[in-house]
Chain A
Amino acid sequence: MSDLADLAGRLVAQAGSDEHLEAYVARSRETHVRAYEGEVESLTAADAAGAGIRVVRDGRQGFAWAASLDADVLAEALAEARDNATFAEPDEWQGLAEPDGHPVASLDLHHPGVRSLPTDAKVDLALAVERAVRAADPRIVGIESAEYVDDDVEVAIASTAGVAATASESACYLAVYALAEDGDDLQTGFGFSVGRDPSSLDPQAAGADAAARATRLLGATKPSTARTTVVLDPWVTAQLLEVIAATLDGESVLKGRSLFAERLGEGVASPLLTLLDDPTESDAFGATTIDAEGLATRRNVLIGDGVLRGFVDNAYTGRRRGVPSTGSAVRAGFRSTPGVGTMAVRLVPGARSQAELVAEVASGVLISEVSGLHSGVNPVSGDFSTGAEGLRIRGGEVAEPIREFTIASTLQRLLLDVQAVGADVEWLPMGAAGVSLVIDDVTVSGA
């Protein structure tokens, strides 16, 4: 780790007196095992490293990256970043993050198991999850994939503004995609188990989950079109939360692309909803101690009891909006400049289980999967329409499976139409945690 910090420091030391320079240096080690029919289908083991260099001069920003830590390659990247800066238009708000003294959370995000566990044991986990799904139900006829994935990342960020931060995180997960068959009918279901150390992964639970999700859809038919109440599975809620969170960042507000730009302090959601972005929650997959500009991450309240409380900002959007950074700079590794966004959103849970929530729905649909969020949901207009599958709810009980339908509303209405939030928080391998959610008055389009 210290060598990365040294390297970042050496890059920053090359800054001229008239320029600001930030170096983001990262190194990762990954293992990826795919199992199929009791054998290893593929095993990938790799180390990768690289740096992204940002130069700001006279309000102009230039950026270049290289997937190498070799001195000559980094020298070329620095020269490119300087050259690129000359083509940007001056922007008075452009600049690097200033250290803000916010304390860095003490989180236990780096576990040695990802590096120390022998590859054979990782292979065994992938084989075990495949066995578990096949053993769970006689109607499971195969798998599309069963995999063990881990990643161990170290990052060092340094800048002429005085940032000098490091972080290291480990993560691993098992994921399995099951195929269930009954006669001519074939259905799929996934299951996973997430952790920071391989010893915490549970192949049995992941396998059983995938088998249950696939088999419960067997015999699914297409429903007729209607307006109804839906209960979103935690997995579906998490995907919805990611879409909503993407409308609540300072950049969308500045550029007139946020539905909620002018609505701070107003009721935008059911009073049952409190939405947080909290990368300091160590159970969250997106947990991290520093943001992509090296500032400490913090717990940000986006919606409190249905009232819009705030947006997330990085140094640039905060400066331009006249507010401090919320420690919400994000980037896709060293290959990109810092953007702004949430990292670990979640709803404050309610008190009831999914079964208790379903028991209060006379007629509705439990949505277990959605598809096409990227093509049918527009975060600017708020139009919301996705493909879906799930189970009918009749008289407070889960009934027959249905598929090949869509659910539609608008993001604005979905938030206001929430009737209940479940207690069943699920930590998922994504930027949001899930919880069951009951929403009224959603259009189901089918036959």
Chain B
Amino acid sequence: MSLKEKLSLDFVTTVKAIGWILVMGWLGTAPAHAQLRIEIVDGVEGATPVAVVPFVWAASQQAPATGVADVVAANLARTGLFEAIPRSQLIERPTEPQDVGFGAWRLVGADYLIMGRVVDAPDGPGLEIEYHLVDVNAETAVLSQALPVRPGGLRFGAHRVSDAIYEALMGVPGAFATRIAYVVVQDSGTDDEVFELIVADADGFNPQAVVRNSEPIMSPAWSPDGRQIAYVSFATGRSNIIVQDLYTGQNRVVSSSRGINGAPAFSPDGRFLAVSLSRGGSPDIWLIDLETNDRRQLTRHWSINTEPVWSKDGEVIYFTSDRAGRPQIYSIGRDGAGLARLTFEGEYNSRASVGLDDRFLALVHSPGNNDFRIGIYDRETERLRVLSDGRMDESPSFAPNGSMILYARRDNGRGELAAVSADGRVRQRLVNSEGDVREPAWSPLLR
């Protein structure tokens, strides 16, 4: 296939994907790709029992097959922190807190009750979700809100409801109304091998191909507003860094210098990309100003310097370097000053992902045997804890609320995604029926 054909394939796919976005508002019911199915492997002891009563449908349009309550119950159960009481045990169907018979719900064993209804938006074409979170033991409403949703946006609205309920119960925002990007390789190892960059809702629904190519696609990274994804493409036969707008479909090559163009990471203000370029002879960390196209070299060392990520305040960059012999995590100021080595435990620590604040870094860790696992490094205690149990685990990506870490693992020679809570108690598998799945990237909180 010629370069021109490859690029036009990229473009056609992009236009198609964007068409889907416009038509479906990202929330369609006809996914073009096999969908990830999230299974709980381990939950916590004594998960909080929650009853989610089916929401009353009072809107003029037809009710969808999957209701708001289904989505909310599945979201809460998936965290492993909550246990959704089966629908068969829901003894009554209140829509308002004053309708609740608390004694009966205590007998069912519910600690919390979620209820509500869907109505036409009072002004405009969309819908509105009215919902209540009720503490059964205290017999009080903890949260009562009405959430407007755009046409076609009901499912995402249900994720926002889940976020608000999670925050009311846990004290930190939920990460349900977010998306994940990942790379799928179809027909892996054959002449028909195709790499796809997929964006899906955080629960695996609505997967859409953003880019498709016969040459490798690597390292997707979200912009802080969730509108753009930077990634590495080999469409030209060499590595290039591309920034693609998910809503307009426009993409541009931001780096195509000699050698490696890899590991893009947006700064928290969205203006800069930290990248790894080997134009100087070996991979070093560079900053690219996306407005002016100016580029500035941050590290100067003959070793491999790659996988940059930004601190939450954008002042520091964490990266992987093997300047001491084996890969370890280092930090450097965005002005190039203050180089420091952070990790010392084990033979191999690489590809950091920053948690809710800069205290925790998720990383790929190997104690020195052939096993590579996801570890979490606590910068305050300087302790490293292994969270995953695979042999080829890689590409950790923190949820924007710091609760879970999404990562890639290999199972019988095939890549799949998994997630583990930051405390290691909750484990999920994200099962994909087809393809070799890898390199997950969790979006920021979407507003």
State whether these chains interact.
no
